Structure 1
């Protein structure tokens, strides 16, 4: 087998866990574009109550994601994954059989309480070699993006056929399928350990949340998902008012999201290759601002180009922000920084649902979009002070030397041109590097790593 190829165990781990991530995304987001329309028939269906139903999963997920990760270090990955999927399925059943907004809110809260995202990433790290982990995590990221597109498009189509209750029944079935996937397909690790690039270290939380540049990125993902959840209290109503049926909503989301994805690709290449990531961040938020103003127009056909521009900015930020977190975080705190980032994302979804519902209570759907545009303006001001990180890449490798030899190995690695930061952990049998690829003597680095032991 080629040195860089995934092993059969790694292929099963990556395919199984990427699929599980995707199934959870489908379950959570299929209902996002339809609930503002289908919940209006419930007693007490105020905009604020509907916003709470939509966003409450983000609160419980943000609250429990880090504890789930810590518990998995003690009790094992798969037991916590099974527990989370059972809670997620239970929440789906509660929502499927709900006859009131209160029970729907409880069901959505339980869905979010199955907060296994950090556990899935830790299991992925347990089952992949250090040098293949970045590739594995990128595959999971792609599955999440694809699942989001499918969920937004399929939600309106399936809701027209199954109704809202049927969507939740389908979500419960997907949870059961996810458990079967973990049982029969995803391998069990021979050993589990903490990983700097995938685990969360409580001792480093304080430093991560105080880091001014990481804080700007955490606030950015919070604001992005606040906007997504908030405006999707308004957009389905505006599409309905423009005369489009629920089934047509699915085609509109599919078209505009795909256009946004393909428009984003050259922009992310310019940002990464041209090292203009701050400019791309500002451009992305600017696109969100412009799209929101376009969608406030009285010309209903402008909703389509508005959504295209919105999803271009959204996709650009979704692709850029995790990369910037990875580059900005100290190598010993990368996993912790990603954990805080994910928690901020879920918290943003909760705040967006509640805030969007409150605005819709006092104004109309256009008022929600105007409010979101004002928030984008403030966000641009926040990003003006952002200092882009050095354009560094990460590399993880397996340690094959005794603990007593680590200091000497560290000095040898730091002497290699282009090696900026080195962390060696005997308890993980892993080394973590930050590299400047423009200055790196890759042949010397490879030779040094191959000569270990």
Structure 2
């Protein structure tokens, strides 16, 4: 990467991680702290956890379209202001309905697709996959930090303190946009010309469909699981809520070893699809352990495997999308990808809360396991074609 690309990608990765840190911090907290709010039920807590995903999903493509016409930076700044306002509303709420309203307003700042489009604008073709991978890795880092920082802040000032910290993170994001990211002239010079029919083509491309379905399942599982995991830490491990960060810190730090192994297998071993399938398999194993064996050792092992699988898949998916998309359709494809990502988060919270209320946490984890099995089966045809191509290459050698 040249100096402009390094500056742009570093600033955009920092911006993305700040914003996702604010969203992720409530994941390990709402199932515990929202029970103290007026009107709280498992279904409404699940809705509060996932509602931001619905407004995100509804607005990703419209705001991406707007960014093509008025510029990326104005849309990103406006989205961060909405995100800050929603965080303030949620932080001042004393009822679960107020938190739901604030979370929905947070999601209205739907800038994920626009940020990824700006990454593409400011990088050359040969550097774009690396740039997408860096931004994807920043999301995994934000997730890791949020699981540790969220419980610590909540132990000090409750759920409202977490939302008020999110306001500060959003305002810092605006400073990054205005002060560190290169101006719109550089972006306009590098921007790819759109092609007609890109929306229809993006929706009909089999490889993109598989990746979009995958990110939907991944974020459904993430959001739904955190309706259950905090309770397992309390009941299964005997950890009070103010010490949950210790379990998350240990599991996440150990998970880095697994992520490194998968990345080495994908990059140096030349087996990216097999490593991807392994990440999905680790999620399956984790969910099975958490659902069927809620004993201390199984909970610890399940938590570790969950973070290995999630962090690897979350960092890898954007890079795979950037490789699969056709020329001139990157902005549209990233908008659809982000929409599916946030629809998964909404469905995981809303549907997961209903399942917990009616059938319990174990049934929810088994539901997640079934969805991950379906994802793996959806990916198998592509994996088989890659294996066949590799075998054909071996046979054709003299």
Fold in common (TM above 0.5): yes
Kept after mapping to 2: 8 A contact 1:73/1:193: no
Cα deviation code 1:112-135 (max 9, x no counterpart) = 111112222333444455555444
Task: Give the match for residue 6 of structure 1.
Answer: 3
Equivalences for residues 179-218 of structure 1 within 5 A = 179-190=174-185, 192-193=187-188, 203-218=197-212
Task: Give the match for residue 284 of structure 1.
Answer: 279
Query: Over the residues paired in the alignment, what is the CA RMSD in angstroms?
Result: 2.4
Task: Give the match for residue 242 of structure 2.
Answer: 247
Q: Would you say 1:160 and 2:164 are equivalent positions? A: no
Task: Give the match for residue 230 of structure 1.
Answer: 224
Equivalences for residues 142-181 of structure 1 within 5 A = 142-181=137-176
Partner Cα distance (2:36, 2:194) in 1: 43
Kept after mapping to 1: 8 A contact 2:266/2:275: yes
Kept after mapping to 2: 8 A contact 1:66/1:200: no
Partner Cα distance (1:389, 1:275) in 2: 15
Q: 1:241 to 1:26 in 2, by over 3 A?
A: same
Task: Give the match for residue 118 of structure 2.
Answer: 123
Deviation for aligned residue 1:55: 0.5
Task: Give the match for residue 213 of structure 2.
Answer: 219
Deviation for aligned residue 1:381: 2.5
Partner Cα distance (1:106, 1:208) in 2: 32
- Structure 1: tracts of 5 or more residues without a match: 392-453
Task: Give the match for residue 98 of structure 2.
Answer: 103
Say which structure is richer in helix.
2
Task: Give the match for residue 91 of structure 1.
Answer: 86
Cα deviation code 1:90-139 (max 9, x no counterpart) = 10111011121111111001111111122223334444555554444443
Partner Cα distance (1:131, 1:282) in 2: 26
Deviation for aligned residue 1:389: 7.8
Partner Cα distance (2:332, 2:386) in 1: 20
Deviation for aligned residue 1:160: 0.4
Kept after mapping to 1: 8 A contact 2:92/2:160: yes
Q: Would you say 1:356 and 2:352 are equivalent positions? A: yes
Partner Cα distance (2:318, 2:384) in 1: 13
Q: 1:76 to 1:282 in 2, by over 3 A?
A: closer
- Structure 2: tracts of 5 or more residues without a match: 388-398
Kept after mapping to 1: 8 A contact 2:194/2:328: no
Partner Cα distance (1:194, 1:357) in 2: 47
Name segments (4+ residues, structure 1) moved above 6 Å: 194-197, 388-391
Partner Cα distance (2:195, 2:110) in 1: 18
Task: Give the match for residue 332 of structure 2.
Answer: 336
Kept after mapping to 2: 8 A contact 1:238/1:365: no
Task: Give the match for residue 319 of structure 1.
Answer: 315
Task: Give the match for residue 433 of structure 1.
Answer: none
Where relative contact order (Cα < 8 A, 6+ residues apart) is larger, the structure is: 2
Kept after mapping to 2: 8 A contact 1:73/1:194: no
DSSP 3-state at the match of 2:53: helix
Deviation for aligned residue 1:195: 6.4
Kept after mapping to 1: 8 A contact 2:199/2:332: yes
Q: 1:388 to 1:182 in 2, by over 3 A?
A: farther
Kept after mapping to 1: 8 A contact 2:117/2:331: no
Q: 1:364 to 1:174 in 2, by over 3 A?
A: same
